[in-house]
A and B are shown apart, each in its own frame.
Chain A
Amino acid sequence: MTSLSGNTETQPSPGLAAEPVPAEELPVIPVRHPGRWVGAAVIAVLLAMLVHSLVVNPNWQWDYVQGYFTYHAILGGILVTLELTVLAMVLGIVGGVVLAVMRLSPNPIVVSAAWVYTWFFRGTPVLVQLLFWGFIARLYPELSLGIPFGPRFVTVDSNTLISTFTAAVLGLGLNEAAYMSEIVRAGILSVDHGQGEAAAALGMRRLQTMRRIVLPQAMRVIVPPTGNETISMLKTTSLVVVLALGDLLGVAALIYGGNFKQIPLLVMASLWYLIMTSVLSVIQYYVERRFARGSSRALPPTPIQRIRTRLRGGSNGATHRPPTSPVAVRHEGGAAL
């Protein structure tokens, strides 16, 4: 970055003068950024204050945080949190795709049904929905399979069929489906209209076209917000504490209910949530990168590649790019001299 050596490799365009002028070697002075130093100083002071308080304030009780971090009940709670996240998201994504396709159907009845579903599940708090599923037995003590208004073939106790865990998955998943349907719908609408026409002209049916042609192309738009929803879901699962289900926060609450060590246990839970969402963020990044394939010829760099470039490229962090035209650069350099 300190000289312009290597410019001679740049090919002059054939329309210009035939003789390439050999490049002079001139030092380049990068732009100074004094504001960055002031900002860095302010942030450094604030950071020092934070670290100081974390160390000095005994109420953090770091020994308890550490002690409970890998406690077996906590690890069990983490497992429940992860299971809930995965199952609720699977239910949400499948339901979301079905609802989105329904919303775009030519059948007005189907469109209305999907619209009402989204209206209801998006319009009531997920906490209320969770409680409803938890208390479903109060509403319908028995669930039956049979002919509507006619004989019943099988009847089961609601509490047996819908355990607390099932209630949590249903509550979170059905709510998520309403949000996912909007994401999937946006993805479907982002696909060029001509794609559906080309498929129709080949004799493909509507659902066939959706599955084979439109949805695969919609994925690029659908994947990023879905990753976002998954991270959001991981945290939303903590609401199942109202169903007394032993998820991460539930177990932590149970423990501090007994020993009154609220702060260290909440810190411990927060750290675990941070670790899990961080892992999900990394996964999301690579999934997005994968779906970018085919849409652009060169893939964006991975974070590790970017850090490497930045370390090599110097302090300004700009992309390492050689000057495009030796003539132009030399002209500017000449003016500065």
Chain B
Amino acid sequence: MTSDLTPDTASDTASDTASDDMVPDTTSAAGPAQPAQPGGEHMVSADDVHKSFGAVHVLKGISLRVRRGEVMCLIGPSGSGKSTFLRCINHLEKVDAGSLRVDGELVGYRRHAGRLHELRESEIARKRAEIGMVFQHFNLFPHMSALQNIIEAPIRVKREPRAEVTERAHRLLERVGLADKAGAYPKQLSGGQQQRVAIARALAMRPKLMLFDEPTSALDPELVGEVLDVMRDLAAEGMTMVVVTHEMGFAREVGDSLVFMDAGVVVETGRPRDVLANPQHERTASFLSKVL
């Protein structure tokens, strides 16, 4: 059952060159043309974001910008706060201080008459529905088939007609190379296949932003490629992505920008090639020397 990898794993090197041309300059304001967006050119804007768990200060003033269509890779040692920052973006964690905006709107709050009002559960849920998230451990619903996993949220959350959603789900499964696995339960799929279903599940909500939390860290080495291929295709289509990863190869090929975090602060930002080849900070250099 685990042997039928997708045919597209073979196209690993072919897509390298294709995506290479698409990498825009980090400093330019370009990106897929989406005029008159409420958030301006930035999909995510973080300014001095702080977060503590009890006495542990996990994020100590994170400031970042993610442009529309940009693929930003977050790297750093474990405990550096990169996953926590990612989880703040869709309000799985509450920000303690600072301002975090997605598509121009504050995460978790509404500004009214000079005050910040905490959002109600329904409002938070509505905003989360616009942001896709892929987890390290897939978190597929084990009691549902691959297809049911994908159609659940569009039907229950967005109240879309079942027939329409089902058709879209089949197209998504085909896109991630699992057209024949619609009826399979997560237990019957390999890790790589499960993660691809998880990506399809997130895409079924037609998100404007995709968050990836170490999507390949729980996978056997030979299954990493098939998941990265799907993500590479997604990036090529212009999806805005924030990816916490340890895959430096992926960051170099697909990432538009690379952020190195350590101990709750952003140490270094830049084009992946530059940062990986020529880190400006000693901490970055020391980290990269261990992982590369």
Contacts and interface: CB of A to CB of B under 8 A. Distances in A.
Interface of A: 192, 194-195, 197-206, 208, 212-213, 216-217, 294-295, 297
B195 to A, nearest CB: 12
Given A198-B141, A203-B130, A217-B143, 6 more contacts: A194-B137, A202-B152, A204-B125, A206-B121, A212-B152, A295-B142
Most buried by B among A197, A203, A294: A203
A195 B141 contact: yes
A91 to B, nearest CB: 27
Q: For the complex, would chain A's binding face be called helix, strand, loop or mixed by DSSP majority?
A: helix
Interface string B161-194: 0000000000000000000000001010000000
23 contacts: A192-B139, A197-B92, A200-B92, A200-B125, A201-B92, A202-B128, A202-B129, A202-B152, A202-B205, A203-B126, A203-B153, A203-B157, A203-B158, A203-B205, A205-B122, A205-B125, A208-B156, A208-B157, A213-B141, A216-B143, A217-B141, A217-B142, A294-B143
Given A202-B129, A203-B128, A203-B205, A294 B92 contact: no
Nearest to B143: A216
Contacts of A217: 141-143
Contacts of A192: 139
Contact of A198 (B130, B131, B139): B139
B185 A294 contact: yes
B133 interface: yes
Contacts of A213: 141
Contacts of B250: none
Contacts of B156: 204, 208, 212
Q: Which of the listed residues B125, B128, B130, B133 has the most CB atoms from chain A within 10 Å of its own CB?
A: B125
B152 A197 contact: no
Interface in B108-136: 121-122, 125-133, 135
Given A195-B139, A206-B121, A201 B185 contact: no
